[in-house]
Structure 1
């Protein structure tokens, strides 16, 4: 167990590449080499990021296994700790960048997207936020379907400043 340090946790997650590593290791334990191959990166670069994630408790090493040529390999699995991380400066941009990189790899016919503008009262806004939080918590707490397909979801809702009425004199 790592010592609580929200700043160190935030620094560990302030990397698009690290978020992608966590996503890859969500359903199955992968070695440093396997992660590097899937991301098209140098294994030494990935090892630095893996160690950071392990140090902060976002990844956990599983028992050592033997590779194809008898080499010693350490597989890593995501712990799920990142799901409940509080906001930190730049978090939104890192999450969007990771999602865009993953989206670029997805076949067009396998992508479903919706963009919607709405007007909500404060009570309606709060109700929507709570319903969405409950739904995502349910998904995060659910046991993975062993033969299910992996999906990635990004939800973002923001005040649409461009549609706000301007105050006279601004």
Structure 2
């Protein structure tokens, strides 16, 4: 996907940095944490509660995401019983992350976990088979990239409902000529 229009240029071109970023994103739990912290900062305990995971396990994932710049800590706040709580917010760096082997399977698995928790009435899916020439394929991808970039750059509506979008385009192997 193309970077969001207001995204800062990504200066990380070092293969070791790119590999470390890919490893940090290679977890459905981590991708779900990023989604949870997209609109509001959440503490480790709040993230663990929403994912129904052990807080110690979630903390490992949170630290990995913070170390790679995918999450940023907000100022410390006091919890209900006076404890120190660190809320974390997604930085949107993952939008600019390069592709890595297995990324599409990971994104699909993450999406399936999230859609399994969704109100069935809120889910709308379409499946369509088409035949596109090279120019039509390029046009489709350009329009999709531009639209997703526009959505990524928008400020969240304060009263808006959170939605998750998955776009997938793949060659339909079953419809290819058999040789």
Q: If the length of structure 2 is used for normalisation, what is the TM-score?
A: 0.91
Displacement of 1:120 in angstroms is 0.4
Tell me which residue corresponds to 2:163.
151
Greater relative CO, 1 or 2 (CA 8 Å, sep 6+): 2
Tell me which residue corresponds to 1:132.
144
Q: CA deviation digits over 1:15-44, x for unaligned, max 9?
A: 000000000000000000000000000000
Query: What is the DSSP-based 3-state SS (H/G/I as helix, E as strand, rest coil) of the residue aligned with 2:125?
Result: coil
- Counterpart Cα distance in 2 of 1:107 and 1:148: 16
- Counterpart Cα distance in 2 of 1:100 and 1:19: 12
Query: What is the DSSP-based 3-state SS (H/G/I as helix, E as strand, rest coil) of the residue aligned with 1:140?
Result: helix
Tell me which residue corresponds to 2:25.
13
Give structure 1 stretches of 5+ with no counterpart.
none
Instruction: Provide runs of 4+ in structure 1 moved above 4 Å.
Output: none
Q: How many residues were matched structurally?
A: 166
Displacement of 1:161 in angstroms is 1.0
Tell me which residue corresponds to 2:92.
80
- Counterpart Cα distance in 1 of 2:160 and 2:119: 17
Tell me which residue corresponds to 2:66.
54
Give structure 2 stretches of 5+ with no counterpart.
1-10
- Counterpart Cα distance in 1 of 2:158 and 2:38: 13
- Counterpart Cα distance in 2 of 1:128 and 1:118: 12
Displacement of 1:142 in angstroms is 0.7
- Counterpart Cα distance in 2 of 1:139 and 1:104: 23
Tell me which residue corresponds to 2:76.
64
The answer to whether 1:120 aligns with 2:104 is no
Q: If the length of structure 1 is used for normalisation, what is the TM-score?
A: 0.96
- Counterpart Cα distance in 1 of 2:19 and 2:47: 26
Tell me which residue corresponds to 1:42.
54
Q: CA deviation digits over 1:83-116, x for unaligned, max 9?
A: 1211101101110011000000011111010000
- Counterpart Cα distance in 2 of 1:84 and 1:120: 27
Q: Aligned-pair RMSD on alpha carbons?
A: 1.2
- Counterpart Cα distance in 2 of 1:92 and 1:121: 23
